[in-house]
Chain A
Amino acid sequence: MPRIQQTGAARPRTVAVIGALLALAAMFFGAAGAAGAAAPPAAALPAAAAQAGAAPSSLSGKTFVIGTDTTFAPFEFRDAGGELTGIDMDIIRQIAKSQGFAVEIKSLGFNAALQALSSNQVDGVIAGMSITEPRKQIYDFSDPYFESGVQMAVAKSNTEIKGYQDLRGKTVTAKTGSEGETFAKSIADQYGFAVKPLDQSATMYELVKSGNAVAVFDDYPVLAYGISQNNGLKSVTEKEKGGSYGFAVNKGRNPELLKAFNTGLAEMKSNGQYQAILDKYLKDPAKAAQSSFWDLLASSFPALLKGLGNTVLVTAISFAVAMVIGLSMGFLKISTNVLPRGIATTYVSVFRGTPLLVWAFFFYFGIPQLTGQPIDIWVAGVLTLSLNSGAYITEIVRGSIQSVDPGQLEASRSLGLGYAKSMQKVVVPQAFKIMTPSLINQLIIMLKDSSLLLVIGFAELLYQGQQIYAGNFRITETLLIVAVLYFVVIMLLTKLANVADKRFNK
Chain B
Amino acid sequence: MPFFPAHKLPLAVLGLVLVALPFLFGGKYQLSILILIGISAIVCVGINLLVGVAGQISLGHAAFFGIGSYASAVFTGDYGWNGILAMFAGILITSVLAATVGWPILRLKGHYLAMATLGVGLVIQLLLIQEAGITGGPDGRAVKALTIFGLRVKGEWAWYCIVAGALFVVVWGAQNLMSSPWGRALRALHASEPASAAAGIDVHQMKVAIFAASAGLASFAGSLYAHALAFVTPDQASFLHSVEFVVMIVVGGLGSVYGSLVGAAILIVLPQVLSSLSDYENLAFGVLLILVVYLLRKGIVPTLRLIAVGGGR
Question: Is the pairing of A and B real?
Answer: no
